[in-house]
Chain A
Amino acid sequence: MINYLTFLPEIILVCTAILILVVELFQAPSSKRSSIRWIAFLGTLAALLCLSCLSGSCPLGCNLTDGTAQQAFNGFIKTDGLALYFKMIILLATLFTLLMTYRHFETHKTPYPAEFLAILLFSAAGASALTSAQEIITLYIALETLTISSYLLASFMKKDKGSNEAGMKYLLLGAFSSALLLFGFSYIYGLTGTTVITEIAKSLAMQPSSPLAVFALILVVGGLAFKISLAPFHMWTPDVYEGAPTPVTAFLSVASKTAGFAAFVRLFWVGLNVPSLQPIWMGLFAVLSAMSIILGNLEAIPQKNIKRLMGYSSIAQAGYIATGFLAIGPMGLTALLFYIFVYLFANLGVFLTIVIVANKTGSEQIEDYAGMWKRSPLIGIVLLVCLLSLAGVPPFAGFSGKWYLFGAAISKGYTWLALIGMTFSVVSLFYYLQVAKQALVVAPKDPSPIEMSLLERSVLILCVVVTVTLGVWPRPIMDLAQAAASSLF
């Protein structure tokens, strides 16, 4: 028998997606299609709730396991605490994306809303499955499920040139990087004769260092760094982020990246964490992370389009998170997990406002954010709090997140990298505050207020509350992250 509990969240997501497609078939073309929205929303919520049941700490008491990691397919898939944490991030991001989707398609009409939702859920299922993968082929297939769906999502607005360009660029470069990744995997298999990550580590530990192993390592880094947009594999990010529909951009910037981080952690901290290779990839990550921080922050400064700005910002953020890769151990992993959580709320808060504002003004230019404070005080607060959190200003959550990340890096002797990180956090204030300044200081050109639904309002307030609370009291999520990290160490 197969232990279905291992991939219960994915089953729920896929079933929801299929259900959406079927339900839409039987709807009149003129109907408002609110039912499929609710199905998508509830399905994702159910998947999220099932995570807590799987972790053995369901508040409703329906614990499916006693908290032990579930395995299936001879351990090819294992849903441990770490996987559950990553899944939580991905599913939360999916929920946010769904919310944005509803608002986005009000003005950007598409004849295929059901298909969009279904593909989004397939994508989320891929990302979610990736976090449990303990074997490189499973990992690759999950990754492709995620990215191929993302290509479709990015180019979803068929009549829109930007969206088409984004999708095409993403497809071509994504295929290129997938090829690199697969090429690297093939070498790893060739060297070790196994695809199971823990076995790879054992086999590699017994071999002397070989140039082929190094080559494989570099290919894998190249392939995966593309997914989380680490420099110099970041070039696609701004173009795709700008062109893709905003909810998709938000999804790419959080869910897709989180899956990439999960793959990184599994592959490098377990599979390639052998004495002959470890110093090489540590050095590599230090350089890549420094490059991402520097390039991402510097190139963000002259931007005029907020989505493009967020694209560069996400490159820099990936660089910050990558510093956490260097601190192998529970402390580094905890810091990394915590930061991803913080990043989720801050980033998605900003993207939600982008969608709401674009819905009203039809613009994504930063100058059109003038006087947002007057038009909707909540949007002003969200922009200020979330952007400052991304910049790492106390007392917001981004500060404590960076505190832990850089602290972990320093404890492993990467003080220079932490210094670069801190210096460029200051640089990042330059462009984050540019947006905040437009929103809070400059007088509005058009003072008409911006309306939003109760749900959006409460989600935005949630973003602010989480960002502020975790800044002064990071304990709850730190404890969660620590528990998740303990499943690897």
Chain B
Amino acid sequence: MMIERFRTRISGRFLRVWQRNLTVYGKSWKISFIPPFLEPLFYLIAFGVGLSGLVGNLSYRGSEISYVSFIAPALIGVSIMYNSFFETTYASFVRMYYQKTFDAMLATPLSLEEVITGEIVWGATKSVIAAAIMMGVVGCFGLIRFPQGLLLLPLAALGGIAFASVGMFFTGIVANIEMFNLPVFLFVTPMFLFSGTFFPLENLPPWAQKFALIFPLTHLANLARAISFGQIHLSLLWGIGYLLLFSLIFFPLAIRKMGQRLIK
């Protein structure tokens, strides 16, 4: 029944919501471009110059690689997560709660499903923009193999949808904007640290390795690394499948919770 309702209430009109966000982004893009541009540079300097001497090389899937080339793709994964998750949590919450933007949209031919879909697709778009900029910067240091590396862009779109959906789900249930601290510290921060981002998962005890597989970032970082190294093989489908499944769960949940919140 839910699918049927969704089918009748969704149309390409969700792009109008996406376009609204693009128009706003267009007013400040020069500033919005700076963080994804500088962030990898800071990390590469800190880890590549500062920490690398201590860590040296490490072995990843049987081959010896530098620490910088290990973390650089994971940082792109982290950035994909941050850009979409923070867009559909804090930024969407401000639009919904303080600016009444969604209320205004719902008085037009847009449906709730289209408003929420537009927001989620916009969150994913920000992930793609960030991934593209970071890919350019990291690529300049010879840390990404091209043309395979270009697959980072569709990966950013998929990861972006996954994290934007779960972010929007939280926006549907938090009582106020301060409460986003909970998912940030219980969900996002542990992922940032324990998803095979800064050290190989194999360094963890076996139970923790299994547990980390629940984290979508584990799969996203893995995929980003494989793509950056140019190691495209069929086993990557597992990670892609997990991100797809994660999106397929949280996208309808986000719409449902936002509907309960907005439709009175």
Q: Do A and B come from one complex?
A: no
- Where the two chains meet, the residues of B that have a C-beta atom closer than 8 Å to any C-beta of A are none
- Where the two chains meet, the residues of A that have a C-beta atom closer than 8 Å to any C-beta of B are none
